[in-house]
Amino acid sequence: MAAGRKGLEEMVAPVKTIVISGYYGFRNSGDEAVLKSILTALARAGNEAGIRIEPVVLSIDPEWTTSMYGVKAVHRMKLAEVRSAIQQSDGLISGGGSLLQDVTSPKTIPYYLGVLKLAQWAKKPTFIYAQGVGPVQRKIFHPLIKSVFRKAAYISVRDEQSADLLSNMGIARGGIEVVPDPVMGLPLPENTSSLPVSDSSNLPTIGVSVRYWDKECRELSALARGLRQLGERQPVHIRLLPFHLPDDVEASREVMALVGSFSEGHSQISIAEDVLDPQQMLLEVSRCDLVIGMRLHSLIYAASRSIPLLGISYDPKIDHFLKRLGSEPVGNTTTLAAEQLAAEAERIIKAPMEWLRSREAKIRELQEEARRPAERIVHYLRDKG
């Protein structure tokens, strides 16, 4: 009887359709992890609030996004489809990730503000979900961001620096909530015990996430020298983890070539090829004893699974996240020193609990806070009827 009543309640649960705008469908593991985390958090918050959330994702590859996540998706660059999805929705989420920045392209900010503006013109509530805002080098964008964000029903950002930047643009600081990156709440895939293990040896596994940044690849050369030193000091399995395909695969192979091979029976080096599913990459990270990362989400993955980490900074977002953990980068793209990297990695491998003990409480706090934006948005939609 109780089971039947529960089923009836689920059948009559009100449905709320929410459009999700972000950098999705590009096969970037970090951004796909953001999407999976948002979808998971919304479903959980909806269940707890007694409503059913139906997401519609704006994607560069709608078919792939639908097959990957089992949700409806429309092409992010087809205006008619985007407008129709918004008009039929109950609101729009913009985020997470670093959507509002003009370092990679001056077209990025106008696009994401334009999508938000479409929703606001359609009189739909808009929600900013754990975004990393900035750098915004072109001052012309400041009043545009202010104009759109002031009409948002909810604003959350993933670090204090983003909140400060918005505040300097004229957004009331009290209306901005600082929360962790959504990926802090990403769960492992189900039935992980049945999935193959990448390393059958008993060597400590060092996950390494790299990307191209410096034109002369000085940081990749220094990293490779450090990994070589580490692998010669003690047996380890160096596991390259490409987060953005195909660029990170090429960068990873370059590092592998620079490290070279080790003597038989000593250290090993390998690469995780073609890992598209963010939860599968999270599983790869969870099997590491230490993660050395340039990609922000490689560090977030590690922290979420309580894996010790060393960050290499190429962007302030790396420094901001490490600061929240009480850490600093082991180096950046111009100052990374091979000897320091090897020494720090060896120290952590020998005493991992020393690293974890001082950060355990903060990690738990970040994991709990990562669910907050979804809860705020779901409650808003439920209370507005």
Residue 231 pLDDT grade (very low, low, confident, very high; cuts 50, 70, 90): very high
Task: Say what the pLDDT of residue 29 is.
Answer: 82
Question: Residue 250: how many CA atoms within 13 Å on its side-chain side?
Answer: 6
Mean pLDDT score, 247-261 = 96
Whether the upstream peptide bond of residue 246 has omega within 30° of 0, thus cis, is yes
pLDDT, position 222: 97
Q: Could you tell me the pLDDT band of residue 3, with boundaries at 50, 70 and 90?
A: low
Task: Render pLDDT for 297-350 as a digit per residue (tens, 0 to 9).
Answer: 999 999 999 999 999 999 989 999 999 999 999 999 999 999 999 999 999 999
Higher pLDDT: 276 or 176? It is 176
Q: What DSSP string describes 299-350?
A: HHHHHHTT--EEEEESSHHHHHHHHHTT---SEETTT--HHHHHHHHHHHHH
Under the banding of pLDDT at 50, 70 and 90, the label for residue 193 is low
Average predicted confidence (pLDDT) for the chain: 93
pLDDT digits (tens, 9 = 90+) for 142-168: 999 999 999 999 999 999 999 999 999
DSSP designation for 185: G
- Percent of the chain's residues with pLDDT above 70: 94
- What pTM does this model have? 0.86
Q: CB neighbours (10 Å) of residue 214?
A: 15
DSSP 65-96: HHHHHSSEEEETT-HHHHHHHHHTSSEEEEEE
* pLDDT (mean) for 12-41: 93
DSSP 244: B
